Amino acid sequence: MSSKERPTLGGTRIKTRKRNIAAPLDPAAFADAVVQIYLDNAGDLELVAKSIESSDLNFSRYGDTFFEVVFTGGRTQPGTTKPDEGERHPYSIIDCEPTREVILPSVIYIQKILRRRPFLIKNLENVMRRFLQSLELFEENESKKLAIFTALAFSQKLSGLPPETVFQPLLKDNLVSKGIVLSFITDFFKVYLVDNSLDDLISILKRGKMEENLLEFFPSAKRSAEGFSEHFTKEGLIPLVEYNEKKIFEVKLKEMKSALTTQIAEEVDITEVIDTVKQRVKDAKLPDIEIVRILWDILMDAVQWSGKNQQQNANLALRQRLKFLVNWFLCTMVKTWAQLLNTFCTNGKLELELVYKVQMQCYEDAKLMKIFPEIVRSLYYQDVLAEDTILHWFRKGTNPKGRQAFVKALEPFVNWLEEAEEEE
């Protein structure tokens, strides 16, 4: 064999290593092609959708660019909302009228595109997030169009667009402090509530983790319950104002119940408990009737559901358990907490509300059914309930739940009251 010849392996195929050759990125050419489709069809979105469906454009690579063209009419410079070089069309969302009727066809058009190419939802999220984080670069009118589009996107359930994509990018300090976010979210709420209920809106806010943080949309100077009510009342969103007030009310009720439950469990002096209730009532502006209901609920919880009493109740026969509860009401609740009830049951209307509350509690809890008259009697002896209140409930009470049984059970005590009154 010559020194110049090299040995070979007969019948062996030599594989050459393949190189990953990436196709050149050309978003500009892609954008121009999409723009041309818009221009060729004079902005008719039905025809545009058909042309795009039959095209061989690489949407998997240039999805972000596609939505830039949809929203602004052409490409935008990286990281901004400014137009980039290349052709543009005048049929974009930013260029149309800022009305629900005009923007709705664009939402339906995008829905059709996403049904054929569901992978594009991520690109829609990317572009929307970028634009929302840059709202200060849009004119006020353009920002309003984005808000209308976003509201309609959720209203039309646009292919699973996640709410956090919209709400979280808005919470940039510079956007919030300038009031840009508040204007955007107000337009969003107004448009969304045209076709949807307040419950639907709250559901979206929950999924976007904003239900408990609506004040974060407000500049710091207006970030208060009063500022919230004033702004949305002026904008005609009364149901939203009422919802927020109810939420605040429920939170304050919960805080008050928690504070009182702790004090009762720790056997705090009654005067301190009364001061706590008065301060909570003042801060929360709670109505008197609600206070009476809360106090009764808390006192009932203290006896029925504490670990000690629950264990006792579990080990006693029914008759013994009833006797235990009666004794507790007579010996503990009335003597210790009658002063608390007396402080806030200041008139016949509130006393009657307390009787109704007792009636409902005994009706809903079978083990309390038979001690209703004992509870009423003990409240009477401690001057929490007046004789006139008891007689009014007995003769004219309006709550029908368990009434017939309770009236019959209380009849001996009422007869005694009437006889005592006649003797006087």
Measured in residues, the chain has a length of 424
* Whole-prediction pTM: 0.72
Tell me: do 228 and 316 sit in the same domain.
no
Does the residue 265 lie in any domain? no
Does the residue 329 lie in any domain? yes
* Residue span of the structural domain in which 207 resides: 27-238
Does the residue 3 lie in any domain? no
Report how far apart the first and last C-alpha atoms of the chain are (Å, whole number): 142
Average pLDDT over residues 234-262: 89
CA 423 – CA 87 distance, rounded (Å): 102
The answer to whether the beta carbons of residues 123 and 64 sit under 8 Å apart is yes
**76-124 per-position pLDDT tens digit:** 877 666 667 778 899 999 999 999 999 999 999 999 999 989 999 999 9
Tell me: do 200 and 329 sit in the same domain.
no
Tell me: do 129 and 43 sit in the same domain.
yes
Does the residue 222 lie in any domain? yes
Tell me: do 36 and 139 sit in the same domain.
yes
pLDDT at residue 16 in the model: 46
For residue 219, what pLDDT band results from cuts at 50, 70 and 90? very high
Tell me: do 211 and 309 sit in the same domain.
no
DSSP 12: P
Q: Looking at the 3D structure of the chain, how many domains does it have?
A: 2
Tell me: do 202 and 58 sit in the same domain.
yes
Does the residue 256 lie in any domain? no
Tell me: do 88 and 203 sit in the same domain.
yes
CA 10 – CA 3 distance, rounded (Å): 19
Tell me: do 184 and 70 sit in the same domain.
yes
Does the residue 352 lie in any domain? yes
Tokens 């007046």, located at residue: 386
Mean confidence (pLDDT) of the chain = 83
**190-208 per-position pLDDT tens digit:** 999 999 999 999 999 999 8
Dihedral sign computed on CA atoms, order 266, 268, 270, 271: negative
Select from 238, 270, 297 the last residue of a domain: 238
Compute how many other C-beta atoms are within 10 angstroms of the C-beta atom of residue 18. Answer: 6
CATH label of the domain that carries residue 326: 1.25.40.180
pLDDT at residue 322 in the model: 55
**350-402 per-position pLDDT tens digit:** 999 999 998 998 898 877 788 888 888 888 988 899 999 999 999 988 889 98
Tell me: do 220 and 118 sit in the same domain.
yes
Neighbour-count burial of 205, counting CB atoms closer than 10 A to its CB (0-12 exposed, 13-18 middle, 19+ buried): middle
Tell me: do 81 and 222 sit in the same domain.
yes
Tell me: do 302 and 402 sit in the same domain.
yes
Does the residue 21 lie in any domain? no
Tell me: do 296 and 226 sit in the same domain.
no
The CA-CA-CA angle for residues 69, 70, 71, to 5°, reads: 95
With a CB cutoff of 8 Å and minimum separation 6, the contacts of 34 are: 52, 57, 65, 66, 69
Does the residue 132 lie in any domain? yes
